[in-house]
Structure 1
């Protein structure tokens, strides 16, 4: 019986189905070693510590997924990676954060961004392996996702002084009304005869209001409604300027 070549470029469409893309996630966490019979012994450890071992190859696996679906499982994708027939390309998280937070906020940014916003900025406590030892460090990604209800002021006075005094120091503030999260979208294509899974960010949107103090510095009032992508909202927080979803550029520290 002729064996199925699951990793042929002719089967590209199959690898781009949602079900198959799910099988291509976190493959580097699976351990693999060659058996004497030419197949691979694949070891997978679940979050609760349970260890599973499977015998896998490019054309078959004894796991339930392959037996039931007869389509490549995550273990077979791991074998294909080892055989240089499949690659996963991902943006690596950086050990260098997007800003210096040593004073308790993002130093040099136009708006006050604090550690409570780290998750919105895709700053996560990430496990890193070195010399077989695992430690956790803060790392930076680009999957920005700000949520409704968040408010940002352009001065620390808003957080330290009584409100009546703080108003005298505020130039403008932002309040998020609606938002949609950023998604990581994967797509498989053929490069030099190899199947490659590459991911890109599909940024969600942020709808927010711009506030300024009135002339008497008694209260803030809404002066505009804006919508931009999540990555442009980060630029706004950092530089005070951004491009909205319609392609219009704004600088809140030059506009009246």
Structure 2
């Protein structure tokens, strides 16, 4: 687990992902918009001058979970035989714990703040065999939820997080 200090739990209008045609635009892995919950992106009701409206808000509580499978090719989600020919990398989560809120009371001001305790994602990467007929596991990693999201976005892997 990431041992960095607890970060402030804030929600923002600045989303980590812009979804176009059902996928996170510009991300290394083909992350579908059905993963908005895992990215803590929520459509939230707001009010301005007593008028309600909705907007997408980003939070820090990433919650990828065991069993989820993510490919680097969009086609893998719609037509498996064609998608299998285009996949270069697939990621399957084998264990995970979500980021969680931690309530902290400032003893001086008596104000309550929320911080984020980082969870983790343990996952396997798969590559296609020579004939692109099946996916074969080849390496595993253990990342914080935040580092896992960064991997999905950039494709960058840290060797220090490698596991057998």
Instruction: Tell me the TM-score normalized by structure 2.
Output: 0.85
- How far the C-alpha of 1:151 sits from its partner, in A, is 0.7
Q: Distance in 2 between matches of 1:100 and 1:122?
A: 13
Query: In structure 2, which of residues 29, 34, 38 is the aligned counterpart of residue 111 of structure 1?
Result: 29
SS in 2 for 1:194: coil
Which one of 162, 167, 172 corresponds to residue 89 of structure 2? 172
Superposed CA offset, 1:97-135 (max 9, x none): 211112221011000111210000001121212112232
Give runs of aligned pairs for residues 125-164 of structure 1, distance below 5 A. 125-161=43-79, 163-164=80-81
After superposition, residues 68-87 of structure 1 pair within 5 angstroms as: none
Three-state SS of the structure 2 residue aligned to 1:179 is strand
The answer for unaligned runs of 5 or more in structure 1 is 1-89, 251-256
Q: Tell me, which stretches of 5 or more residues in structure 2 are unaligned?
A: 1-7
After the TM superposition, list the runs of 4 or more consecutive aligned residues in structure 1 that deviate by more than 6 angstroms.
Answer: none
Note if contact 2:89-2:127 (Cα within 8 Å) is conserved in structure 1. yes
Aligned-pair Cα RMSD in Å:
1.9
Q: Tell me the number of residue pairs that the alignment of Structure 1 and Structure 2 aligns.
A: 155
Aligned partners of 2:114, 2:33: CA distance in 1, in Å?
Answer: 27
Q: Once the 2 structures are TM-superposed, how far is the Cα of residue 208 of structure 1 from its aligned partner?
A: 1.2
Contact 1:148 1:176 in 2 (8 A): yes
**Which secondary structure state, in structure 2, belongs to the residue aligned with residue 225 of structure 1?**
strand
Query: Which of 20, 29, 48 pairs up with 1:102?
Result: 20
Determine which structure has greater relative contact order: mean sequence separation of CA pairs < 8 Å that are 6+ residues apart, divided by chain length: 2
